[in-house]
Structure 1
Amino acid sequence: MKLFVILLVCAFAISSSFASDPSPLQDICVAIKEPKDAVFVNGKFCKNPNLTVADDFFFQGLNIPQSTDNKVRSLITGVDVNKMPGLNTLGVSVARIDFAPNGVNPPHFHPRSSEILMCMEGELYVGFVLSNAFENRFITKVLKPGDLFAFPLGMIHFQLNIGKTPAVAFASFGSQNPGLITVGNAVFGANPPIGPEVLIKAFQLDKKTIDYLQSQLWFNNRI
């Protein structure tokens, strides 16, 4: 029995270690594109640590409002390992989200990270949906400046500006590259398209409606 408990604890420890980015094996691993004389760690090649500079760990501009003149009236400015090479192996990233009045960050999920969102300006209606095992229970809240809300890893979630003025939020992630899958874009904007016969049965819609949805230009509100 004791051996079983030990094995069970070890199994949970091992599984939890893969629930987010792996721990770094060295102090820094600044990502570079050229593999010459480099080491491949966490999906990126590492610059020689002796050649790193402050700018590898620096990003400027998250204080600048971005244009929300688009279909969904919101825009995400993400800062992950692709924009700040020094984040490689550090297991963190951030994003700024600008919302016009009635702007929405459409239902989406992050395959590699949970998220903590802080409302900085405006009033946001936010929420996420639990998995089928919990009967897709909907968890929701209205956020005002200074409020925080957490979105669990892999759960579909959204944010909507319900105020009369622009809104701003900052998100923190437990991954250098949390990923972003917007549900509508992925289902109806897949390339090549998902067979309409699948979507007709899955969503219980007629072919005309599915054809209309697949013909739309699904907007990616991330820069």
Structure 2
Amino acid sequence: MLTVTDPARVYAILTDPRYTVPAVADAAGSGVAWLRANVARFATPRRHRRLRALAEAELATVAPGALRSAACAWRGGRTGPVPLLAEALGLPVAAEDVAVVARHYQPHTGVPPGEADNAMSRLAVACRGGYGDGDERTAARIGLLVQAYEPTNLLAERAVRRGGSAPVAEVLAAEAPVRETRRFTPTGEPVVLDLAAAALPFGAGAHACPGWAHAVALAEGMVEGTAQEGEGR
């Protein structure tokens, strides 16, 4: 599979609508395949704008500054800072379920195992219950948590480990959690885009990360909280 590393070329492909995201098949039920088929991340251009708007509407209810304050006050007992985002969104999910689904979210990971589908079913109940907003909005809520899970955890962990005056910015420049993404050329050939080489840690174009400000806020709060905890010892 071709890997594109030239920064200008990576940016050009990310912003060119002729290069599409990996396609997924429609799926019924409430498993991981259903999630893939109903989130903006893997949607066709025809559906993408509407599904992304649902995710952005959810994120608009949470101020990054509030997440930063919550992460600063965080003192363990959770699986990374993403549960703080779930709490802010009012979603009573189990972090373990989010973690399991996140491991099998990308289409190239293949058919999800039963444990991932079971976890996904529990997330669907938790994120739909009481809202009555339909499957696409439920998928948008779950997708935000699943997509944020590993990258945000890694960003926070690496920033805390690095320390210094601007650890989050330094991590994004030197060891950003998301190193690459995939697209299909207009002729249907898969390509890997090196986001790290292009200095685009949150992507670009129509599929750029909608929650980048929230991820940065969580990581910055974790750094501040760890520093305060260290000063108090």
TM-score range, shorter chain: under 0.3
Higher relative contact order (CA 8 A, sep 6+): 2
Q: TM-score, normalised by structure 2?
A: 0.25
Q: Which has the higher strand share?
A: 1
Larger Rg: 1
The structure in which a higher percent of residues are helix is: 2
Q: What TM-score does the superposition give when structure 1 sets the normalisation length?
A: 0.26
